[in-house]
């Protein structure tokens, strides 16, 4: 349940859904109000009215006098709280995006500001806890694959944009471009865009119209920046001219178009909702690296590879203990030592609950330090690691 309050009623422990100021004017502040300092910052930013969510935070009466200490930064409790928050934010943005796209389906013309809020939430969380957010970016929330794909591409795009040190406005535009990149699919029949399995020739031709339809829709919106149009219009263009709708070649494709193509291809490969079997995340990057320079821009691909590390979230790993694990969080300081969920016991039987661990650090009842022997492919296993992450990570870590 949501409740309107004033800034004078705001207290630590509340969960803020929205304010009278746009998210972009309040960069990167926490939705879970942690302390008085955050309240002071909001007051300084001229926030006067807010909407709080009583299911996710405390109510006005409860909050007054609330002195429950926040977990120590970096402690297991704090890490778990951050991971839960990342999953909540993704779900929340997914729901808002679904509502936005239903408006588009109904023929309404949305404004850029409507997308600002979702991207602002993602940006906020990415700056707060980047690695948990990267983990949730590989998860699907529902059968509405377009919405999931758009939200997850926005997370990936913001990640890459952050690594490029884009300024706030450029980052917001990149996140919005990714969120809206498949907007044209809202104008196509749901049976085609949500179809599981391979599309027929005519369905494929129908689906390809989504790029031009998306561009036409952006044309109805006011003052859409060129970078957003480039991203939306060129996300299926390959360097060798074999893409669509324009069959553009290398120099004809903008930098944002090249990045859009790389991000879009990666998310599609690890899910392959409408085009055959999925590939594991590391395998997807390897496939793309083989086609760098022919289909994918090498520089854009490197940006993504550098963000995801050698063991992207969802990669299945064989450990030196003989246990099987799935990577869930890259470790930028030590790329070879990601955080993992260990799926099996030492005797090879599956654990009831995966064991969170960091490669190279002792964990579990045996206090064992594990190393990676080799990554595995989906063919080596009879499960999809993304299903494991959806069920247990990162919120179980
Ligand atoms: Fe697309």
- Rounded CA-CA distance 316/28 in Å is 33
The residue among 302 and 343 whose pLDDT is bigger is 302
Sorted by sequence, the CB contacts under 8 Å of residue 210 that are 6+ apart come out as 182, 184, 185, 187, 188, 193
- CA 246 to ligand 1 centroid distance, Å: 14
Is the confidence at residue 3, as pLDDT, over 50?
A: yes
**Partners of residue 32 on adjacent β-strands:** 15
- CA 179 to ligand 1 centroid distance, Å: 11
Is the confidence at residue 214, as pLDDT, over 50?
A: yes
- CA 235 to ligand 1 centroid distance, Å: 6
For residue 397, the model assigns a pLDDT of: 47
For residue 244, the model assigns a pLDDT of: 93
- CA 211 to ligand 1 centroid distance, Å: 6
- CA 207 to ligand 1 centroid distance, Å: 8
Average pLDDT over residues 170-193: 87
CA-nearest of 202, 83, 94 to 143 is: 94
The residue among 376 and 228 whose pLDDT is bigger is 228
- CA 192 to ligand 1 centroid distance, Å: 13
- Rounded CA-CA distance 269/113 in Å is 31
- CA 200 to ligand 1 centroid distance, Å: 17
For residue 67, the model assigns a pLDDT of: 45
For residue 61, the model assigns a pLDDT of: 66
pLDDT tens sequence across 86-141? 677 667 777 777 888 888 888 888 877 777 776 777 777 677 667 667 766 666 65
Triad 246, 298, 228: Cα angle to 5°: 45
Crossing angle of helices 112-128 and 76-105, in 10° steps, is 170
For residue 91, the model assigns a pLDDT of: 74
196 and 274 Cβ atoms separated by less than 8 Å = yes
pLDDT tens sequence across 284-308? 999 999 999 999 999 999 999 999 9
pTM over 0.85: no
The residue among 394 and 384 whose pLDDT is bigger is 384
From 107-111, 282-286, 314-318, 390-394, the region with the lowest mean pLDDT:
390-394
> By three-state DSSP, how is residue 225 classified?
coil
pLDDT tens sequence across 244-286? 999 999 899 999 999 999 999 999 888 775 556 778 889 999 9
The two tokens of residue 43 are 């007051």
Residue 200's pLDDT band, with cuts at 50, 70 and 90, is: confident
The CATH topology of domain 76-308 is Hypothetical protein af1432 (1.10.3210)
- Give the pairing of strands 362-363 and 350-358: unpaired
Query: Which residue's structure tokens are 């979230």?
Result: 313
From 41-45, 266-270, 315-319, 371-375, the region with the lowest mean pLDDT:
41-45
Is the confidence at residue 351, as pLDDT, over 50?
A: yes
All structural domains of the chain with their residue ranges? 2-63, 76-308, 316-392
For residue 76, the model assigns a pLDDT of: 52
Average pLDDT for the chain: 81
| Percent of the chain's residues with pLDDT above 90 | 24
- CA 93 to ligand 1 centroid distance, Å: 19
Write the DSSP string, 35-74. SHHHHHHHHHTT--EEEEETTTS--HHHHTT--PPPPPTT
- CA 141 to ligand 1 centroid distance, Å: 18
372 and 310 Cβ atoms separated by less than 8 Å = no
- CA 182 to ligand 1 centroid distance, Å: 5
Average pLDDT over residues 359-376: 86
- Rounded CA-CA distance 372/209 in Å is 44
- CA 224 to ligand 1 centroid distance, Å: 18
- Rounded CA-CA distance 314/93 in Å is 21
> E strands along 116-246, which residues?
none
- CA 194 to ligand 1 centroid distance, Å: 13
- CA 266 to ligand 1 centroid distance, Å: 12
For residue 373, the model assigns a pLDDT of: 87
- CA 97 to ligand 1 centroid distance, Å: 16
Average pLDDT over residues 374-390: 75
Average pLDDT over residues 161-182: 89
Is the confidence at residue 380, as pLDDT, over 80?
A: no
- Using CA atoms of 26, 220, 237, 154 in order, give the dihedral in degrees to the nearest 10: 20
- Rounded CA-CA distance 121/126 in Å is 9
| Percent of the chain's residues with pLDDT above 70 | 81
> By three-state DSSP, how is residue 130 classified?
helix
For residue 63, the model assigns a pLDDT of: 46
- CA 2 to ligand 1 centroid distance, Å: 35
Radius of gyration of the chain (CA): 22
Is the confidence at residue 394, as pLDDT, over 60?
A: no
The residue among 145 and 359 whose pLDDT is bigger is 359
- CA 115 to ligand 1 centroid distance, Å: 18
- CA 184 to ligand 1 centroid distance, Å: 8
Average pLDDT over residues 190-214: 85
């Amino acid at each position: 349940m949501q409740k309107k309050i004033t800034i004078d009623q705001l207290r630590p422990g509340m969960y803020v859904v929205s304010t009278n100021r746009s998210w972009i004017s309040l960069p990167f502040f926490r939705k879970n109000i942690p302390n008085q300092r955050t309240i002071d910052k909001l007051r300084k930013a001229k926030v006067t009215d807010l909407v709080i969510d009583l299911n996710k935070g405390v109510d006005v009466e409860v909050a007054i006098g609330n002195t429950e200490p926040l977990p120590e930064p970096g402690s297991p409790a704090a890490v778990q709280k951050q991971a839960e928050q990342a999953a909540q934010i993704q779900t929340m943005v997914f729901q808002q995006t679904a509502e936005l796209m239903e408006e588009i389906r109904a023929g309404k013309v949305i404004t850029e500001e409507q997308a600002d809020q979702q991207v602002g939430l993602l940006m906020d969380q990415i700056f707060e806890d980047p690695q948990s957010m990267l983990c949730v970016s590989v998860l699907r929330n529902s059968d509405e694959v377009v919405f999931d794909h758009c939200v997850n591409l926005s997370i990936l795009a913001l990640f890459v944009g952050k690594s490029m040190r884009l300024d706030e406005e450029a980052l917001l535009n990149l996140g919005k471009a990714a969120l809206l990149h498949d907007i044209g699919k809202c104008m196509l029949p749901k049976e085609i865009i949500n179809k599981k399995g391979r599309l027929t020739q005519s369905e494929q031709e129908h689906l390809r119209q989504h790029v031009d339809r998306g561009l036409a829709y952006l044309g109805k919106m006011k003052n859409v920046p060129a970078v957003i149009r480039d991203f939306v219009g060129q996300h299926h263009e390959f360097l060798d001219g074999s893409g669509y709708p324009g069959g553009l070649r290398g120099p004809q494709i903008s930098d944002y178009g090249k990045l859009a193509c790389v991000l879009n291809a990666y998310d599609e490969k690890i899910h392959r909702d409408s085009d055959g079997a999925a590939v594991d995340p590391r395998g997807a990057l390897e496939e793309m690296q083989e086609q760098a320079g022919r289909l994918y821009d090498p520089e854009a691909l490197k940006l993504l590879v550098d963000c995801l590390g050698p063991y992207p979230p969802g990669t299945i790993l064989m450990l030196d203990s003989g246990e099987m694990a799935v990577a869930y969080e890259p470790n930028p300081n030590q790329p070879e030592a990601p955080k993992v969920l260990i799926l099996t016991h030492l005797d090879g039987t599956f654990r009831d609950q995966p064991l969170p661990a960091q490669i190279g650090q002792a964990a579990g009842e045996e206090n064992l330090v594990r190393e990676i022997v080799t990554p595995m492919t989906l063919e080596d296993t009879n499960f999809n690691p993304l299903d494991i992450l959806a069920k247990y990570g990162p919120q179980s870590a």
